[in-house]
Structure 1
């Protein structure tokens, strides 16, 4: 059987087996990747090449700092104060976290580092307020995604360059407005999917707590470290994982936490899950599985259907690869030729479709956005029964598919064509 087909079947089987048998999907994925490698003669070096060191550094770094700031009670008290200020108006927390994500992303660093920052703030607030932590984190991350095509972000610069290389207009603002419209629909769907009107705690429990309680010296240092991490990422564009490790190391040396406990509390099971699935994803890419899926979508496109088809292809590719690193550089260079062969289709519309498809499908637990939510919630063992790892894995995967379908539907309805003019 064709290796591309086999790898796709193995990917689906790993997810199903992990969920049904309640074992780590990452371990199953690595095992399947190696078996495929043996059968089809793929060397161990290529198989382990799918183990993403950058993803590992991002997750370990952010979660290390998260464990310090959470372990000494800083985030719990901060969450108390934020939820206390919101009082009985807990719906305001959705708006506040969305605004935080949009502001942090839009001032320059873009969505990628902000996606890592938002769960650190959103998850403890959500748990303290009785809100679904996955939903609140997603809303914050969608705020970050809304403005990723703001002209000053690194993502927008890359996309603009890919457009101008084809002799096309590199203006990314139409894509940003298209993204914004899409994300608003996604937020509404997320609210319904995760039942955002339901709270885990009664209103009296969430209101007015922590306003009089003061931060200790260690907690003030921890807050300063968290603020410094955000400053370094947003203003100086430093790597979020590495700078988190540096700041976390400093906090440990200052006595803000017990390092042994911090390392023990890292969600290693979740980290292994994400990185292990990445190993199998690499086999899918090497075998041509991504191309097989994408080509099967675009092969049947026409002038009327090309925009939703491109959006769908970008979304499918985004399940397996980075939007900025793979999807955009692969698909955006084709929009000029496609548009030239289809007079009724504009390159800006196709560019927006690629960007949106390659972005909104990125909430899978095997991507940075979804992985950090999964790891962040897993650091709170008291909610393990309510938010089990395998349950969250499936929820995030299903929601990513829903998001991709929303983008495809809006492209089919001509929304991006109208916005991009």
Structure 2
């Protein structure tokens, strides 16, 4: 057996082990990089560490730290209340408000499970109160979180853009972002009308936040297991800082969060997020250094309020990403990436190879970590994204990004499990089957659709 196949089998084994057992895949990947690098490739420790993505590490630390500050000082709760106030009793607007808030959170640096953990309890509480389909509301939150996930200053966007740049491929940050937002927005629109959106358009809450034609729905029991998605480790603190459910649509607009900084401090946080976007998008400054700098300024304004922030940095998520990236670096130095690319190109056309990789990304991400999939599959695609018969790199990256994240609606993924755990007034077994069926449909159809849209057309 060649060294290339040994390294590939080791990578597959990492995915399986991290899916079956609650072990961070980054830990496994670091050990794999050490064992494969030394025993199979004959590399020393310095050569193995050469694949450690220091710039990506700084980016992840910076943006998750900045998001933790925004959560702790009440800025996120404040923005949610402002958005709910804008509804003014329009029931049909509630799912869309939740969609766009979740998208906003991930677009400015929240990991997707953290955004869902914050918004899902609020959204599903509204669903139970106003007779909105809990399946619709839960899916709107998840698709919103995924829709905003590829902005240039987000976790997914930062990872993908750095991997693409490192591979020497053409980079169009806005194309990937708009592809993810567009597909998820289109799916959300379809779901809205499939699950009662037309009926909601005819309803409006009165001044007391009640809808005469809709009775109250009893709250169900909580407590579904969050399954073995390694990404789920990254939002432990955020799960403990969820905003409580509101009894009334109008009350939600005026409720006071349990822990919030002054309005001036919250405005400063919003300005900091805007500055991050401007400096990184228009002035091409490093997102890691800029986000940490803004975070330090906010911390100096209220150091005691921010004591928890460093502990809320998504260290398990960061461990996962840099571990997988280090292992992929070992595979690159071994020549395995080129070997796989040429092997796939020899078996089938570049178009079919792109479709196969989109399917692999979707299936693996439905059960394991989307970030790990992006970090390992994009480098594998490099050989057939180059040359005269190559697939368009920008379109393929957009297709891979969407197909590897849109499947996180699965109840076996952290986002889907959070929706299941927070649903109220439902039969959990039935709701689980609904999520599982929807996740299966998305896993099968999404790769084909995005492949046709972004690669073939």
TM over 0.5: yes
CA–CA distance in structure 1, aligned partners of residues 86 and 185 of structure 2: 28
Q: Distance in 1 between matches of 2:52 and 2:309?
A: 24
Once residues 440 and 337 of structure 2 are traced to their aligned partners in structure 1, the CA distance between those partners, rounded to angstroms, is 17
Residues 218, 77 of structure 1: alpha-carbon distance in 2 compared, 3 angstrom cutoff: same
RMSD: 5.2
The 5 A counterparts of 1:329-368 are 331-334=384-387, 337-338=388-389, 350=392, 354-361=396-403, 363=405
Question: Once the 2 structures are TM-superposed, how far is the Cα of residue 362 of structure 1 from its aligned partner?
Answer: 5.5
CA distance 1:307–1:54, shift in 2 (3 Å) = same
- The residue number in structure 1 matching 2:183 is 183
How far 1:273 sits from its partner (Å)? 2.1
1:85-96 alignment runs, 5 A limit: 85-86=86-87, 88=91, 89-93=93-97, 96=100
**How much does 1:300 deviate?**
3.0
* Partners of 2:62 and 2:289 within 8 A in 1: yes
Is the contact made by 1:182 and 1:410 (CA closer than 8 Å) also made in structure 2?
Answer: no
> What residue number does 1:237 align with?
284
The match for 1:25 is 25
- In 2, the alpha carbon distance for the partners of 1:285 and 1:3 equals 12
Alignment check: 8 A CA contact 1:66 1:120 kept: no
In structure 2, what is the Cα distance between the partners aligned to 1:42 and 1:386?
A: 46
2:263 counterpart of 1:216: yes
Number of the residue aligned with 1:139: 147
Aligned-residue offset at 1:29: 1.6
Aligned to 2:204: none
Q: Which residue of 1 aligns with 2:15?
A: 15
* Runs of at least 5 residues in structure 1 that lack an aligned partner in the other structure: 102-112, 146-153, 164-171, 340-348, 366-372, 378-382, 388-394
**Counterpart Cα distance in 2 of 1:354 and 1:269:** 28
| TM superposition shift of 1:358 | 4.8
Cα deviation code 1:283-321 (max 9, x no counterpart):
33333443344334322335xxx5333454588797445
Structure 1 partner of 2:49:
48
Say whether 1:308 aligns with 2:352.
yes
CA distance in structure 2 between the partners assigned to 1:364 and 1:208 by the alignment: 32
Q: Which moved more, 1:11-20 or 1:70-79?
A: 11-20
1:331/1:354 contact within 8 Å kept: no
Residues 357 and 407 in structure 1, CA contact (< 8 A), matched pair in contact too: yes
Structure 2 counterpart of 1:74:
75
Partner residue, 1:266? 313
Is 1:38 equivalent to 2:38 in the alignment?
A: yes
Q: Which residue number corresponds to residue 123 of structure 2?
A: 129
* Shift in Å, 1:179: 5.2
Listed one character per residue, the Cα deviations across residues 175-217 of structure 1 (whole Å, up to 9, x for unaligned) are 99x958983698469979xx999x9999964733443368633
Unpaired stretches in structure 2, ≥5 consecutive residues: 125-136, 154-160, 198-219, 223-242, 257-261, 362-372, 408-412, 423-434
Q: Distance in 2 between matches of 1:60 and 1:307?
A: 36
Aligned to 1:2: 2
Tell me how far apart the structure 2 counterparts of residues 364 and 415 of structure 1 sit (CA, whole Å): 15
Counting matched residue pairs gives 344
Normalising by structure 2, report the TM-score.
0.58
Asked if 1 retains the 8 angstrom alpha-carbon contact of 2:358 and 2:447, the reply is no
**Is the counterpart of residue 61 in structure 1 residue 108 in structure 2?**
no
Note the 1:153-168 alignment, pairs <5 A. Answer: none
1:321–1:209 Cα change, 3 Å: farther
Given the superposition, is the C-alpha separation of residues 181 and 24 from structure 1 closer, same or farther in structure 2, using an over 3 Å criterion? closer
Query: 1:60: how far off?
Result: 0.5
Is 1:135–1:196's contact at 8 Å kept on the other side of the alignment? no
Deviations 1:345-370 (A, max 9, x none): xxxx85665344454355499xxxxx
CA drift of 1:28 comes to 1.6
Cross-structure match for 1:109: none
Which residue pairs with 1:248 in the alignment? 295
Q: Please tell me whether residue 225 in structure 1 is matched to residue 276 in structure 2.
A: no
Given the alignment of the two structures, is residue 299 of structure 1 paired with residue 346 of structure 2, yes or no? yes
